Structure 1
Amino acid sequence: MTSKKILIVMSDTGGGHRSAAEAIAEATHQLYGEACRVEIADPWANHTPFPINRLGQLYGPLVNHSTILWKLIFRSTSNRRGMSILVRIFWPMVRKSLKDFFRQNNPDVIVSVHPVLTYFSIRALQEADLRISFVTVVTDLVSLHPLWLCPETDSCLVPTELARDRALDSGLPLEKVKVVGLPVGSKFAEGVGEKESLRDELGLERDRPTILVVGGGEGIGKVHKIARAIAKARINAQLVVVAGRNKRLRQRLEKVDWEIPTTVFGFVTNMRELMGASDVIVTKAGPSTISEALIIGLPILLSGFIPGQEEGNVEYVMNKGAGTLTEKPQLIAATLAQWLQPENETLTQMAQKAQRLGRPQAALDIAAEIFNLAQARSSSTQSLTLSRP
């Protein structure tokens, strides 16, 4: 049997898109082995002309240092008029590059885990008359930009019921929209052991409550300020701080004379174990970290969010009772001190609600959907016809 070629298109605007792509690739290999060949590509950065190919590099500075401007961009393009302007500006500059890219690759299925690449990829396929199955894997939990929502996709896989409602309201056919969860690494589907055993393996104190503070793979946000506020409050707990790839942050943290037991990590590949060893996580409202915490059943104290796409994540976590939002470091410390009081049942209740929301099989379900479409490609004769914004 000839192996099926799966092309996953993404953009390195935040770490969540790449981690979702890698989780799907991992699950596809786990289920189908050599029957599928998976390639992850960033066609916007690597196959469009200068200076368009550098736009993704502006995302980090925008969301970290110019949140008001990012919020304006997100909201002004989240309606039909704004999308139409966006497309008229960028499509002439990328159309040839994207069409050539897909002609050269000619996969059985294209999977998009990024909103911009969803719309522009489908438009490129339509203009090039390429009959390639297309799967949209939405990696925002609730607040979906309209670029995600192309009715011409063959399958739109969303992480939550609220995202499904948004997709249906935008005009996607009911039969194309499925709630599967957000894809995370296969380790999270395996479960974790007892907290005490995990703490032993990680070199932590076995019987001390554990607070996990993270800033994502890039170590962004107020990680240092939050960790220092918690330590200065002298909470009866131990602190685990993950600095990610942010070497400067890690060095600052390692120089501190901590008031409570504190362990500092850089970029980690054992987040499942760190979460399993912890009683609560402090994190910004990134969808991947939230999804991983829900699978583990870990209460979430959200320390901030990116305006636009992460606003709905906050409401989702709070409305489902899996956590809360507290942005000021001193209030974060005070909240944790209250939750960790011996008679307080808040964390126990949040943990139970969080675990009910987790979808550990999401990546495997997505891989199965992709493979089914790949097998059906040869019998498909319908080309994509794009609805113009």
Structure 2
Amino acid sequence: MATKAVLPRNSLNKVFERVGFGVGINSQKRFKYAIEEEDEDVMEMEQIGAERTKNVLILMSDTGGGHRASAEAIRDAFQLEYGDEYRIFVKDVWKEATGWPLNDMEGQYKFMVKHVQLWKVAFHGTSPRWIHSVYLAAIAAFYAKEVEAGLMEYKPDIIISVHPLMQHVPLWVLKWQGLQKKVIFVTVITDLNTCHRTWFHPSVNRLYCPSEEVAKRSLFDGVEESQIRVFGLPIRPSFCRAVLSKDDLRIELEMDSELPAVLLMGGGEGMGPVKKTAKALAESLFDKELEKPIGQLIIICGRNEALAATLQSLDWKIPVRGFEKQMEKWMGACDCIITKAGPGTIAEALIRGLPIILNDYIPGQEKGNVPYVVDNGAGVFTRSPKETARIVAEWFSTKTDELKRMSENALKLAQPNAVFDIVKDIHELACQRGPLANIPYMLTSSFSSLIY
């Protein structure tokens, strides 16, 4: 039988009187809020001979859509596999616990991605270990105590990082508190092929890599082979479950059941030459001699409402649907996909066996995704809307064999069970530790001797 215990308010006040002088105001407010919300956030304590619910903290940031998507996929897989055995928190600790500039990484990332050369310089300029070690140490000097307070709020037994900047500082905090051997810390890399070196930390219990190429890179940065598992990219569990057949999905989605379909993605922010590509497809997929379409177009605009409104106002010669969600259904109903080289979309498309036309990539972490797809025969790369439209038209008419072959190659490359393999391995790590005792998180006064 498990019991629940809450630190009394008077005791909490005494703790802050003793060591709270080193804690930021935001951290104290947040910790006080957690105590006041004890009905929701109270942490279960372990009695002798009893197993308590384990707390899992997933560290992410909304710098691009992939980190949150992977975090939520892991959360959902834990809940499906283990139910109430684990309590899962998906949190952006930088945003919640720290100040500028870390609490605005999302805005800074969007700005740099719009100015890709700036992002390219930032990505490659911080790649050398001596450079990123310096700036991570500087971050820790300013915000380690805030991160510590954030960890105290959730008291995790297991920490899962799905972001390259969320290894070093949390691991420093655990080391300072003497908890590295008590708290399980794993990293799930969400970049498919090329990735930043800050992903790699030799002190993690596990490093989950989406590909062999990433695993090889990690070995050069001090990660041992015994720490590495290559399971694939964690994709939402709904992509791993059985779906309706393509014919049934087209009926449900009110698509033309006779025409092949291409799915045009704009990315999470509607990035890419979506409008030009859509217009080019409208021309190439319309047979002027027979005056009838040879294909249909589904457009996903992400969060770009202006783009969606513009496309909906146009007069189309071919069936056009979209501006919607339910990605697993749309992918299951289509025959190929046009997208930028985001790792999540690529992994989802491979699971559905969709040949991929990559039309753009973010320098740095997405560049390697292009050869990953092309060299494995699962797609092609072109930035030209006209070339894209020509390829799709050929796939739907004179080169159907090529389309079929690429679909088969995509399925060979797919790793649909990756997210379940990851959570099962983490569960095994927890079981190897035996019944997890209550983790003695505490506030400390200084991190200077640890960092410098």
**TM-score range relative to shorter protein:** over 0.9
Is 1:44 the equivalent of 2:94? yes
For 1:113 and 1:224, the matched residues in 2 are separated by 32
Aligned residue for 2:45?
A: none
**Gap regions ≥5 residues in structure 1:** 382-386
What is the match of residue 196 of structure 1?
247
Q: Is 1:354 paired with 2:354? A: no
Residue in 1 aligned with 2:142?
Answer: 93
Q: How does 1:16-165 map to 2 (within 5 A)?
A: 16-63=66-113, 65-130=114-179, 131-165=182-216
Decide whether the 8 Å contact of 1:160 with 1:179 is kept in 2.
Answer: yes
Is structure 2 residue 67 aligned with structure 1 residue 3? no
Cα distance in 2 for partners of 1:92, 1:258 equals: 57
Match of 2:425 in 1: 369
SS of the equivalent of 1:156 reads strand
Partner of 2:289: none
Q: CA deviation at 1:258?
A: 1.1
Question: Which residue type is aligned with residue 179 of structure 1?
Answer: V
Are 1:327 and 2:383 an aligned pair?
yes
CA distance in 2, matches of 1:195, 1:84: 50
SS at match of 2:315: coil
More deviation, 362-371/339-348:
339-348
Residue 272 (structure 2) pairs with residue 221 (structure 1): yes
Query: What is the SS of the residue equivalent to 1:190?
Result: coil
CA shift for structure 1 position 225:
1.9
Distance in structure 2 (CA, Å) of the matches to 1:120 and 1:345:
51
Is 1:338 aligned to 2:390, yes or no? no
Secondary structure at 1:7 match in 2: strand
Identify which of 287, 293, 296 aligns with 2:352.
Answer: 296
Question: What residue is the counterpart of 1:230 in the other structure?
Answer: 281
Residues 284 and 388 of structure 1: CA distance in aligned 2, closer, same or farther (over 3 Å): farther
Q: Deviations over 1:105-161 (max 9, x none)?
A: 221100000001122222222223333110100000111211110010000011111
Name whichever of 327-336 and 79-88 sits farther off: 79-88
Partner deviation per Cα, 1:259-315 (whole Å, 9 max, x = no partner): 21101323x1x2111111111100000000000011111110001000000011111
Report 1:150-189 matches (<5 A): 150-189=201-240
Query: Which residue of structure 2 aligns with residue 262 of structure 1?
Result: 320
Normalising by structure 2, we get a TM-score of 0.81
Paired with 2:406 and 2:244, the residues of 1 have a C-alpha distance of 19
Whole-angstrom CA distance in 1 between matches of 2:276 and 2:389 = 11
Mean CA deviation greater in 115-124 or 275-284: 115-124
Between the aligned partners of 2:245 and 2:436, the Cα distance in structure 1 is: 49
| Corresponding residue for residue 35 of structure 2 | none
Pairwise CA distance, 1:244: 1.8
8 Å CA contact retained: 2:63, 2:105 = no
**Equivalent residue number for residue 384 of structure 1:** none
The SS at the match of 1:116 is coil
CA contact (8 A) 2:164 2:196 kept: yes
* Contact kept? 2:137, 2:451, Cα under 8 Å: no
| Cα offset, 1:220, TM superposition | 2.1
Secondary structure of the structure 1 residue equivalent to 2:149 = helix
**Would the aligned equivalents of 1:196 and 1:207 in 2 still touch at CA under 8 Å?**
no
Shift of 1:380: 8.6
- 1:55 partner letter: M
**Structure 2 SS opposite 1:239:** strand
Q: Distance in 2 between matches of 1:141 and 1:50?
A: 29
State the match for 2:374 in structure 1.
318
The answer (yes or no) to whether the contact 1:102–1:125 under 8 Å persists in 2 is no
Mapped partners of 1:292, 1:388: distance in 2: 40
Alpha-carbon separation, structure 2, partners of 1:72 and 1:153: 28
Query: Greater shift after overlay, 158-167 or 123-132?
Result: 123-132
Q: Which amino acid aligns with 1:276?
A: G
SS class of match (1:311):
coil
Contact 1:132 1:377 in 2 (8 A): no
SS of the residue aligned with 1:134?
strand
Q: Name the CA shift for 1:4/1:88 in 2 (closer, same or farther; >3 Å).
A: closer
Taking every aligned residue pair, what percent have the same amino acid on both sides?
A: 39
Larger Rg: 2
Q: Deviations over 1:216-243 (max 9, x none)?
A: 2332222222112211334421000011
Give 1:250 deviation, angstroms: 1.2
